[in-house]
Structure 1
């Protein structure tokens, strides 16, 4: 292994995969009903536990990874002489990326020769996760950290992310969208499609009447300009619908692999139960 890959729990990568690949995952935390929960490790809060609480009326919040956590991780690898590539959650959606940058600068004061590369994916959930997967594949193919970082940086603007969200009030409560956008999305039988833009911010790109039409539209948007035959679907209590979307995607000759993963607790906190996310890599940069 030529370098260590780090990411965070917003990437929603399956734990068995990250362990097999030797990828370290740092966890954001969730505040729920007066308690603080971890999102990595054996005692982590699961998505199912969180969604059940939210459906019962709980309103969780999230906290970024702090500078101290990053400093500890970076310092450990610097002492070992191990180079690090940290593939980070979108800076437009969290202060996690900036905490990592501050921690790197502190470690470099003591270990000026340490190689710590941080990439702002401008993505969330498996949009970020897809880039971690690409980094792992590049490393396995013998690419250096610098070569891998250049590749991932070139893919950052090509990541396509679409969320089908049942209740936009969760995004409004977290300050991710405006009150006006949330009110528009609450209109009877209107299903909004939210995209992660090229700069990492969220944007409502379509308002479709009815679930089936919304699902067909999000599949169409995903396939439009797709460059990589792998698509990931993340679901928050919508496994059956996710399976249906998978069938629709595989019916296209542009897609050969569709991975289904549960939407992690951090992103689920902000999007709520019933959310579906579709993630792919396009040929062209996204606006």
Structure 2
């Protein structure tokens, strides 16, 4: 038995971790009028930011053909089982597409997890599963554990603006307008249903990092956990937060630091800092 870890690019797993755990990545798409770009392949988040606010693209899931091709590649490399991880079905159709294709596979035993999370809130579950496979956990054991493990994963994002979430249909117009008028800076996460909700609202940017760390620390608790630090055109803020994250969650193990993928940047806009947590 040989198990492949399959993720979508919205899981925001770094290339280093993808290579370390031999993960397979299905790419979301970023679509502008002139063409279709493949997430983090022939487009960068910086390009998306540079074209804001004049141009706001749309995003789409990997196509059924792309998922099928990935399944063929996995089989050709001798894998017999697949653990697939997708960003929340409440925010993307990727989970449904992957389920539809993989359930037709006769030569692979597959399990697709709706992480009910976004970005590394989803991706860290795949990393954890890969770690557990290395320790000797079986495919069947992980398929039993993973649905319950979802509740131990969360990503918190401090965002400079609500504009792009509104334009992408992720929040209501009134919330966005009120936030802009009052200079409210939100901290966003995913709820139990895998849709965005506002964790906190901060007046102005000055207290944003402190509140972001406070929310992450409260979720992490006192036990061991994996952590990640992400940003969207917010590298300076992320750098400043790094030592505070390490000292503020002393039982945490910082396994990843990166900029978010273009498909995430489309919906969140510039000036984002995020903390991912997986309780162990």
Q: Please report the TM-score for the alignment, with normalisation by the length of structure 2.
A: 0.91
Instruction: Report the Cα offset of residue 16 of structure 1.
Output: 3.0
5+ residue gaps, structure 1, are none
8 Å CA contact 2:232–2:269 kept in 1: the answer is yes
Counterpart of 1:201 (choices 185, 195, 198) is 195
Question: Equivalent residues in 2 for 1:113-262 (5 A)?
Answer: 114-226=108-220, 227-252=223-248, 254-258=250-254, 259-262=256-259
Instruction: Report the Cα offset of residue 191 of structure 1.
Output: 0.9
Q: Tell me the equivalent position of 2:10.
A: 10
Distance 2:104 2:72 in 1: 9
Confirm whether residue 274 of structure 1 aligns to residue 268 of structure 2. no
Distance 1:26 1:40 in 2: 11
Instruction: Report the Cα offset of residue 282 of structure 1.
Output: 4.4
Distance 2:178 2:159 in 1: 13
**RMSD across aligned positions (CA):** 2.0
1:147-175 superposed Cα distances (whole Å, 9 cap, x missing partner): 22333322112212211111211111111
Instruction: Report the Cα offset of residue 65 of structure 1.
Output: 1.3
Distance 1:99 1:29 in 2: 14
After superposing on structure 2, the runs of 4+ consecutive aligned residues of structure 1 that deviate more than 6 Å are none
1:230-273 superposed Cα distances (whole Å, 9 cap, x missing partner): 22121011111112222222222534433321111111110011
Instruction: Report the Cα offset of residue 182 of structure 1.
Output: 1.0
1:183-216 superposed Cα distances (whole Å, 9 cap, x missing partner): 1221243211112112110011211112121211
Indicate how the Cα distance of structure 1 residues 22 and 166 shifts in structure 2: closer, same or farther if over 3 A, else same.
Answer: same
Counterpart of 1:88 (choices 81, 86, 89) is 86
Aligned to 2:210, the other structure's residue is in SS state helix
8 Å CA contact 1:30–1:37 kept in 2: the answer is yes
Distance 1:131 1:171 in 2: 24
Aligned to 2:6, the other structure's residue is in SS state strand
Q: Tell me the equivalent position of 1:62.
A: 59
Distance 2:171 2:208 in 1: 20
Q: Please report the TM-score for the alignment, with normalisation by the length of structure 1.
A: 0.89
